[in-house]
Amino acid sequence: MFDKLEDLVLRLEEVLNQLSEPDVASDPERFRKLMKEQSDLTPIVETYQAYRQNQQNIEESLLLLDEEKDEEMRELAKEELSASREEVEKLEGKLKILLLPKDPNDDKNVIVEIRAGAGGDEAALFAAEVYRMYVHYAEGRRWRVETMECEEIGIGGMKNVSFMITGQGAYSVMKYESGVHRVQRVPETESGGRIHTSTISVAVMPEAEEVEVEIDEKDIRIDVMRASGNGGQCVNTTDSAVRLTHYPSGIVVYSQTEKSQLQNKEKAFALLRAKLYDIECQKAHDAEAEARRSQIGTGDRSEKIRTYNFPQGRVTDHRIGLTLYKLDKVMGGDIQEIIDACVAADQAAKLSRLNEEE
């Protein structure tokens, strides 16, 4: 591990030297890659430098204890030694986490797709609430949310909704939300006061660039039509809605959220690329089934990951055994504690697997 860290220290020096070259700014792609590499390397190198400093403090404290006769100075040296040893242990654990293999999609924007499952109108109502939960969470992180596709029902619910979240590292955070979310509560339409259980599915897909997914024009049918449902000016008056049918996969996507046919077409293609890229990612994960089962956030999307129990004000994440009694805050977008716990569990699982391999 430490040989690799020394190599990373040298690499960061090389990157900084290259960034200081006068001609690098004239090559935007090279400049972007170097800045990205600097951003990735800096926290690792800074942590390693702190680790080395504390190791040096340990050596100096031990030397002082061997040579010093004054009892007061020896006590100070013992305190310094204890503090440095504790810090070294923490920093070593942090370095192991920083050196874990990184998901190449972590820095990407995401496309989130929410679909109502079992439970009829109640599931559609909950889908709309979870959509708003994610919008509030994204806004709290100053990420941009853009709706791409939405099928609403008359009482304020959503049969399905797809939206893009644009923000640094969005996928690294949102990927833990993929799976089946279950709600337990008394529906507003239920006169008997019985608790119903409904489900929705959430799929989180990294945004795919055109170079990552090639779509042959012969494999696509593009239909344009008038938008339907709720909307302002232009809805039902112009052929602005776009539907794409991808023959090889059978995927159909539809976009009508913009007034412009061109903008809807761009959104539809972005959604299609994400779905096709996600299929390839799923195949890659299936090829590493054992690794996939040991990680949080990369499992089967049919897996029930979370229950929202309204009568008890409780949220339970079944993957990590976490239960919180602050349902109102969670539904308002306060999901960071859950995500942090998922990240920690994922890192622990990866570290455990690495230790077993060693």
The CATH number given to whatever domain includes residue 58 is 1.20.58
Is residue 353 situated within a structural domain?
Answer: no
Residue 198 to residue 70: CA distance in whole angstroms: 72
Alpha helices in the chain (DSSP H): 2-19, 28-67, 71-98, 121-140, 170-174, 261-287, 289-293, 327-331, 336-357
Q: Which of 57, 55, 63, 64 is nearest to 80 (CA)?
A: 57
Overall domain count for the chain:
2
Contact 204, 330 (CB under 8 A): no
State phi, psi for 222 to the nearest 5 degrees. Answer: -110, 120
Considering all CA atoms of the chain, what is the largest pairwise distance in Å, rounded to the nearest integer? 92
CATH code at position 299: 3.30.70.1660
> Which residue among 98, 121, 139 closes a domain?
98
Which residue segment(s) compose the domain that 59 sits in?
A: 2-98
185-212 per-residue burial string, b: 16 or more CB within 10 A, e: under 16:
bebeeeeeeeebebbbbbbbbbbbeeee
Question: Could you give the angle at the alpha carbon of 197 between the alpha carbons of 325 and 181, nearest 5°?
Answer: 65
The predicted model scores a pTM of: 0.75
Residue 335 to residue 253: CA distance in whole angstroms: 29
Same-domain status, 91 and 117 = no
Same-domain status, 128 and 66 = no
Q: Tens place of pLDDT for every residue, the chain, 358 residues? A: 778 888 888 998 888 888 888 888 888 888 888 888 888 889 899 998 999 999 999 988 888 888 777 788 888 888 888 999 999 999 988 888 888 888 888 888 999 999 998 888 889 999 999 999 999 999 999 999 998 888 888 788 899 999 999 998 899 999 999 999 999 998 876 666 788 899 999 999 888 876 677 788 888 888 887 776 554 433 444 567 888 888 888 888 888 877 788 888 888 888 888 888 888 877 766 655 554 454 455 445 567 899 999 999 999 999 999 999 999 999 999 999 999 999 999 888 888 877 666 5
Is residue 52 situated within a structural domain?
Answer: yes
